[in-house]
């Protein structure tokens, strides 16, 4: 199978990059599944139903959230209506929505998307390791599930790396989101799981993690109250990870970083040959 995981979409610039690049990618490549993280898509804080619909129309199959899941209050009800939107699975019982979703491709293959939220420097949620262990024991890779994508939304690189090794051989790919900077450690782990500590954001990299520089710099240098953070608005770089899996085992056979548009150095699988690479 051919899978694409895309990082956190930040603000209007990030949304425009998704709506520009994702249809081009889907036209050029016979992807089986696209996951993207949308928790910063609405002005940098949360996701709306309208934006989610735009992403689905552009070619996303599932959208994951994170610690900003409920910044847009409408998502509390909309997530119950559209199960393709996935919040962290280790939220407490009774939280709206679900932390996993199974999609079926036109060819009949089933792809499970799971989201977890880390606990190091984050909210004190349920144990993400115990949570995912239960899910992968029910939805076993290579049986009725042809691919499993796990989005680990967290601050600590160590926690996300530990999750990668914990799930190695049990899922197709483990990718990190939340810290908004693409890491250079994309790899296939020893037992066949594709891994990257952080996918990076889909946003303007002339910024502080996607937000205009002035306010966060003041927060660090002056330690005084400031205005609300606002997303940076120059051209965004679309960042993600492309993975190919074995049709029999569901484990990964190829992993390639993706960076398109904006300020960062450009990267794409050679056979994509997308135009307008700067």
- Residues with a catalytic annotation lie at 68
Please give, one letter per residue, the 3-state secondary structure of the chain.
Answer: CEEEEEEEEEHHHHHHHHHHHHHHHHHHCCCCEEEEEEEECCCCCCCCHHHHHHHHHHCCCEEECCCCCCCCCCHHHHHHHCCCEECCCCCCCCCCCCCEEEEECCCCCEEEEEEEECCCCCCCCCCHHHHHHHHHHHCCECCCECEEEEEEECCCHHHHHHHHHHHCCCCCEEEEECCCCCCCCCEECCCCCEEECCCCCEECCCCECCECCHHHHHHHHHCCCCCCCCECCCCCEEEEEEEEECCCCCCEEEEEEEEECCCCCCECCHHHCCCCCC
């Amino acid at each position: 199978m051919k899978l694409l995981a895309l990082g956190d979409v930040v603000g209007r610039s990030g949304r425009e990059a998704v709506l520009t690049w994702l249809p081009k990618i889907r036209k050029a490549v016979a992807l089986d599944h696209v996951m993207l993280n949308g928790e910063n898509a609405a002005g940098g804080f949360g996701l709306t139903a309208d934006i989610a619909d735009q992403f689905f129309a552009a070619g996303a199959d599932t959208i994951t959230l994170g610690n900003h899941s409920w910044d847009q209050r409408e998502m509390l009800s909309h997530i119950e209506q559209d199960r393709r939107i996935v919040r962290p699975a280790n939220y407490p019982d009774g939280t709206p929505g679900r932390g996993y979703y199974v999609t079926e491709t036109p060819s009949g293959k089933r792809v499970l998307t799971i989201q977890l939220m880390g606990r190091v420097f984050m909210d004190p949620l349920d144990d993400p390791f115990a949570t995912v262990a239960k899910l992968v024991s029910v939805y076993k890779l290579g049986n009725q599930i042809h691919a499993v994508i796990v989005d680990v939304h967290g601050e600590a690189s160590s926690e996300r790396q530990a999750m990668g090794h914990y799930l190695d051989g049990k899922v197709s790919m483990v990718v990190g989101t939340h810290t908004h900077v693409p890491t250079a450690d994309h790899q296939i782990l020893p037992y066949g799981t594709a891994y990257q500590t952080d996918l990076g954001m889909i946003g303007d990299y002339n910024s502080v993690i996607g937000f205009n520089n002035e306010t966060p710099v003041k927060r660090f240098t002056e330690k005084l109250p400031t205005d609300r953070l606002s997303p940076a608005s120059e051209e965004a770089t679309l960042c993600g990870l492309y993975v190919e899996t074995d049709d029999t085992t569901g484990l990964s056979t190829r992993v390639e970083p993706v960076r398109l548009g904006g300020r960062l150095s450009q990267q794409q699988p050679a056979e994509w040959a997308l135009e307008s690479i700067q």
